[in-house]
A and B are shown apart, each in its own frame.
Chain A
Amino acid sequence: MLLAMASTSVLTLLDHYSDIASVDDLTREFIAESQEGLDRMERCLTDLETRPQDSAQLVGEIFRAVHTIKGTTGFLGFSRLEKLAHTGEHLLGSLREGRLAVTEDLISGLLRLLDGLRAILALIETTGSEGTRASDDDSALISELAALNDGVQEIVTVAPVVAIKANEESSPSRPAANSGQTPAPAGNASANNDKTLRIDVDVLNRMMNLVGELVLTRNQMLQSGVEATSFPELARRLDSVTADLRETVMQARMQPVGNLFGKFPRMVRDLARTCGREVRIEFFGQETGLDKSLLEAIKDPLTHAVRNSVDHGIESPTDRVLAGKPAEGCVTLKAFHQGGSVVIEVSDDGGGIAMERVLAKAIERGLVTDDQAAEMSEREALQLIFLPGFSTASAVTTVSGRGVGMDVVRANVEKVGGSVELESKIGIGTTLRLRVPLTLAIVPALVVRSGRQSFALPQTTLMELVYIPARDAAQSVERVGAAEVFRLRERLLPMVWLDRLLDLENASDSHGFYMAVLEAEGCRYGLVVDDLLAPEEIVVKPLSAVLREIGLFSGATVLGNGTLALILDIAAVAARAGVKPAIEEEETQAVEVKQENEESFLVFEDKARERTALPLGMVERIESVSLGQIEYAGGRALLQYRGELLPLRDDGGVLDEMDASGARDEHESATVLICGDAVSRTAQRMGIVVRRVLDVSHGTLLDRNAASSDTELALVKDRVTTIFRGLCGDQGGWREVA
């Protein structure tokens, strides 16, 4: 069913730069298709173990994959492949007809069939033939499969459902040779996947249409010339066509993360047996899309991480039971979007990372000294795991513990502009979080100027911007020793002067300077620059090796005005300036304290001479509404807003005043705060007419106004301010009108 769909509505694009020399297009297509079939087969096989209730459907799918291979090989003349596939098909046929039961031996046999088929495919891909050497003999495997087929026919009662766990326990150390064979063919399979991409014909058609439009627009531009009146309109069209085209190309490159997850069940199954663990793997968010090249880039780190979880994370079944946990451990893979990047979490419910062991190991390996270790916070100690040559596994196993691991994971993820976080609780488990950008090529960035040069800061690292006027500079920049800090909402933020750090010429002027509050890899600091330019979506261009070695720039980009700007590597700048990761616990505490005593308010003026404020959470939007849009019914002001009728509250009499001051001018406009109960969304929304919006600020509540339960007094920026609450309490009458 899946195969049919694949061949009708999906095209296989093959990269012609591939180094497959002696293989024709037809064979290449066959290999790509077969490998996909085998990937599906692998997924189904591991599913078959965990979900025996779906066996009919799963076996059907496996059968089809092998059958297709058999059918096509006969046609292409690969007899060795055909013979093996035929034996497999025969076995699967018996399984499908219910003459065989799903046993662990059977699954292992089928997995070996899968490896065998993959090995032959890999051989065809590299050499163009399926090999005739003595080592390329499948008779052992074929007879094994045949034996499976014969042997189990003697089973009298046909049991389609089998408890696999019982089987696993009875033979805990099943052939490890099995897992030893897998890596090579799997690696070869992925080499081919790198170069081909399946893409929906619809997407391709849309791309072609857009390219056509692009050509048309270009022709029109060339014909009309820059002076023509239609030029701005053409430029706009060019803009929208380029944006559409870019989006479509991105869409074509997007692949669901599930493609990557697919190979893990098999890996975890094999690993768990080798290590004597019981492990179940769960997936969430498999449909999350990620750029094809990024998907390839995080494949190895993710494999490492899953391997670590099974080998180091999950304890042995007996230890787990002793610790009061179920014998079966669980590795969870979760993918989701968060703020312009994709987060992939690998978490296990294993023993967690023992901090003392990490520190002891680090001291033993000479990575830190005793004194350094004693001063380290938990978070810093966890970071040690990412140092090269670090591994806490006391015994070196075949799976992991050779001292390569987390440093490679981090290096690979950072190479594509991502980051890695690690969280661990003793006895509860470990979570590794890989954060990667949605796409590599185009990044939203803020362009800043410092020392007469432009630099781009990636928006993902940018927390906020602070303008410090020259007259306030002396006050707001404070010193701790030689280090300069800025007091940002009662927290001290280290300041880094970009021009000083990069040794640029000082282009100081009188107006003041800007500070970009940046955060990368847990480091938060304020980067001081001379000026801010527009935010831009920049196309990242790599720098030459010589310039990459400087280590401060992650690339360069051509700006809209045609000049170049270097893209700053925020984490590297932090490291160069000596900014250390902030300790997280402190941070969360600070936030909690703030929430208890303080609240954010939108401060505005409605009645003359009085400051009024609303809790910021209640204000949805600030709109400028022309007086003509405000209508009246029953003596009350109403506003039609996005298909809703909002009652307007005008305590300050702003509307009357405006009416009185001049004729009802259509162009005159009033500022309206659109308010709603953001938390419960039960109460009706309403608009508040104000004179002007003043500020957003923190405030402390002073007193509850006795006269009215709706209002309270608060101290906002050291000035007494009335606070509205329970806005929608007295709106009973409004509903009838609306």
Chain B
Amino acid sequence: MKIVAQQTDSIHDDGDSCSLCSMYAGDESFGIDTSKIREVLGKRELERVPMAPAFVAGVVPYRGDVLTAVSFRALLGLPDSKQAGCVLVLEDDEGQERYGLVVDAVGGVVTVNRNMLEANPCTLEARCKWLFEGAYKMQTGLMVQLDPQKLRPSRLAETGMFSQGMAQREVA
């Protein structure tokens, strides 16, 4: 919540700049456009859903609804974390589908210039190429931009790339 508020102060509509909320999974840092984030719920224990696709971390109650939460670690093929993850509530443009995203930690808000986005390297493997939009060069390292549209559970299920036990495959 606080992050969202902060963002509204800092945003200046000069077209090229956009503010991203930074988040971490594994050793990498990622960014999502703050306007797509409804709320950052913080660390939550999720209720697991048996037999669900591997990318579903579980379900989480949010304002009278039960949201499906996507495990970002599972999408990247990382093994499950021991600690409870941080849950963000995202919404697609039409506001039709709300869902949760579980990451290791949420950082702050950074303002970047859209023109500075570097395209994905061609050697990136297919799944990551699909997930990532490109990367921004930050002082601390690279920050990969994500498209919330593509992280929607229904969209992930449609692609079929993440459905079955990829976490295990990666470990093996």
Q: Which of A550, A558, A562, A564 contacts B52 (CB 8 A)?
A: A550
A287→B153 CA distance, assembly (Å) = 44
B49 contacts partner chain A, Cβ-Cβ < 8 Å: yes
Residues of chain A lying within 8 A (CB to CB) of residue B157: 545-546, 549
Per-position binary interface string of chain A over residues 218-249, scored 1 when its CB falls under 8 Å from any chain B CB and 0 otherwise: 00000000000000000000000000000000
Of residues 538 to 565 in A, which have CB atoms within 8 Å of B's CB atoms? 541-547, 549-550, 552-553, 555-556, 558, 562-565
Contact A541 B51 (CB under 8 A): no
A318-332 with Cβ < 8 A to chain B = none
CB-defined contacts of B68 to chain A, threshold 8 Å: 543-544, 546-547
Which one of A546, A550, A564, A566 lies within 8 Å of B154 (CB-CB)? Answer: A546
Beta-carbon contacts under 8 Å, A453-483 to B: 453-454
Q: Which residue of B lies closest to A551 (CB)?
A: B51
Interface residues in B59-104 (C-beta closer than 8 Å to A): 59-61, 64-68, 97, 99
Does A163 touch B at the CB level, under 8 Å? no
Q: Does A107 contact B (CB under 8 A)?
A: no
List the A side residues contacting B50 at CB < 8 Å.
Answer: 451, 453, 502-504, 552, 566
CB of A126, distance to nearest CB on chain B (Å): 25
Could you tell me how many residues of chain B have their Cβ less than 8 Å away from some Cβ of chain A? 22
Is the Cβ of A546 less than 8 Å from the Cβ of B66? no
Count of A-B residue pairs with CB < 8 Å: 65
Within 8 A of B (CB), among A440-455: 451, 453-454
User: With A544-B97, A544-B154 in contact, do A453 and B65 touch (Cβ < 8 Å)?
Assistant: no
A556 contacts which of B51, B66, B154 (Cβ < 8 Å)? B66
In the complex, whether B23 has a CB less than 8 A from a CB of chain A is: no
Residues of chain B lying within 8 A (CB to CB) of residue A547 = 49, 52, 56, 59, 68, 153
- Checking A546, A553, A563 against B53 with a beta-carbon cut-off of 8 angstroms, the contacting residue is A546
Q: Closest CB of chain B to A391's CB: distance in Å?
A: 34
Asked if B49 contacts A550 (CB within 8 A), the reply is: yes
Cross-chain contact A546 with B47 (CB below 8 angstroms): no
Q: Give a binary string over B43-57; 1 marks a CB under 8 Å from any A CB, 0 the rest.
A: 000011111110010
Contact between A564 and B53 (Cβ–Cβ < 8 Å)? no
Knowing A543-B59, A544-B153, the reply to whether A553 touches B49 (Cβ < 8 A) is yes
Bound CA span A503–B59, Å: 17
B156's closest neighbor in chain A, by CB?
A546
Give the contacting residue for A563; candidates B47, B52, B153; CB below 8 A.
B47
Once the chains are docked, how many angstroms separate the CA of A438 from the CA of B65?
Answer: 22
Assess whether B51 is in contact with A550, with CB atoms less than 8 Å apart: yes
User: Given A543-B68, A556-B66: A502 and B51 within 8 A (CB)?
Assistant: yes
For A454, A503, A547, A553, which residue has the most chain B Cβ atoms within 10 angstroms?
A547
Docked pose: A542 CA to B67 CA in angstroms? 9
Among A293-341, those with CB < 8 Å from B are: none
Contact A545–B154 (Cβ < 8 Å) = yes
Output the nearest chain A residue to B154 by Cβ-Cβ distance: A545
A553 to B47, CA, bound (A): 14
In the docked arrangement, what's the CA distance between A165 and B136, Å? 84
List the interface of chain A (C-beta within 8 A of B): 451, 453-454, 502-504, 541-547, 549-550, 552-553, 555-556, 558, 562-566
